[in-house]
Structure 1
Amino acid sequence: MKLKILSLAILLGLFGCKESAPPEIDTNTASIGELSAYIETNCRGDFRMHVRCMNAIDSKRKKSLAEGRAQKGSLGNVRSEAELFGK
């Protein structure tokens, strides 16, 4: 009986304690570098389409676009994305 319980505990320890989700990240305050590192380390395999990963990817995209628009000589300085694409 004790052997069965011990072997069950070992099996649960080895296979039953997988992470069920990537860790949380505050996408509003995270920099582009932090978001890139988060995506690189946490959004692989099964977690690639997880909500937290999708939010991090979307936030990184938006921040990269905003940073590009803020650079001198960018067309984004002249017109907004809504004006350029009619959204």
Structure 2
Amino acid sequence: MDFEEFCWALGLSETVFDIVRDSYGTVKPVPDFVHQRLTDLFHRYLLVGGMPAAVTSFVESKVIDPVRAIQTNIRAYYEHAIKQYAPKDKRLVI
């Protein structure tokens, strides 16, 4: 998921992005309350990421620990999948 989709998953109204687009189009600052909310959500997005399972877990629990477990499982799966196809002498340890 990209950042906008992440915000929608957390219930942010499309109206907020309309305000941002309008501010950009008119070269005016985004209102402080919108800036604060989007900054907060962006920090959460940096922690959670855009993988749907991680986002779903965060939306349901609002807790980062289950998200970290999902991220670890995804990374382990990717590492396993990559190792299957990488030449043995070229494998990286992650």
TM-score, reference length from structure 1:
0.35
Which one scores higher on RCO, CA 8 angstroms, separation ≥ 6? 2
TM-score, reference length from structure 2:
0.33
Structure (1 or 2) with the larger CA radius of gyration: 1
Bigger helix share:
2
